[in-house]
Copies of this chain bind each other. A is one copy, B any other.
Amino acid sequence: MWISLNLAQRLIYKNMDSILKDQGLPPLRWYDVLWELDRTPGEGLRPFELEKFLLFEQSNLSRLLRRMIDAGLVEELIFSDDRRGKILKITDKGSTIRAQMWAIYGSLIHKHISRIAGDHDLEQMTQALRGLVDETIPKRFKSRPD
């Protein structure tokens, strides 16, 4: 079961990524970042927040953000009460790209999930997964309420 889950996950992920690429869109990991920024109501997020939510390595996220800023999808504001940090905001272009990605990504998720989950209780499973994530990351931010 674990093996199958891993293979399926790997396979689906690659499949989705390559479909996005064929459409000239960025990879899936960019979507995660865009989505977190887009859904945030107020004034943006700090890099370390994204790091916790999305399970990035510090240095890896730092470089990914650099690429996204260069691509014009994200902007960073130097302003802060804490001058160690930055505030990240999604740009209009970033929102547009995210929407384009979602049109594809969303339908692919639905297609695959319904396949995997069958008649299982999705909501219950989601809770179990979320609980696991929360537990396994001690001394870190809890996952977002959604």
Q: A1-B122, A5-B9, A137-B11 are in contact. Are A132 and B113 (CB under 8 A)?
A: no
* Cβ-defined contact, A116 with B129, below 8 A: yes
Given contacts A115-B128, A124-B118, A128-B118, contact A136 B11 (CB under 8 A): yes
* This chain's copy number in the assembly: 2
A136 touches B12 (CB 8 A): yes
A126 located at the interface, meaning its Cβ lies under 8 Å from any Cβ of chain B in the complex: yes
Residues of B within 8 A of A125 (CB): 1, 116, 118, 120
Taking chain A's interface residues, is the majority helix, strand, or loop, or is none over half, making it mixed?
helix
Counting chain B CB atoms within 10 Å of each CB, the highest count among A4, A124, A130 belongs to A4
A118 to nearest B CB, angstroms? 5
A residues bordering B, Cβ < 8 Å? Answer: 1-2, 4-15, 54-55, 109, 112-113, 115-118, 120-126, 128-130, 132-133, 136-137, 143
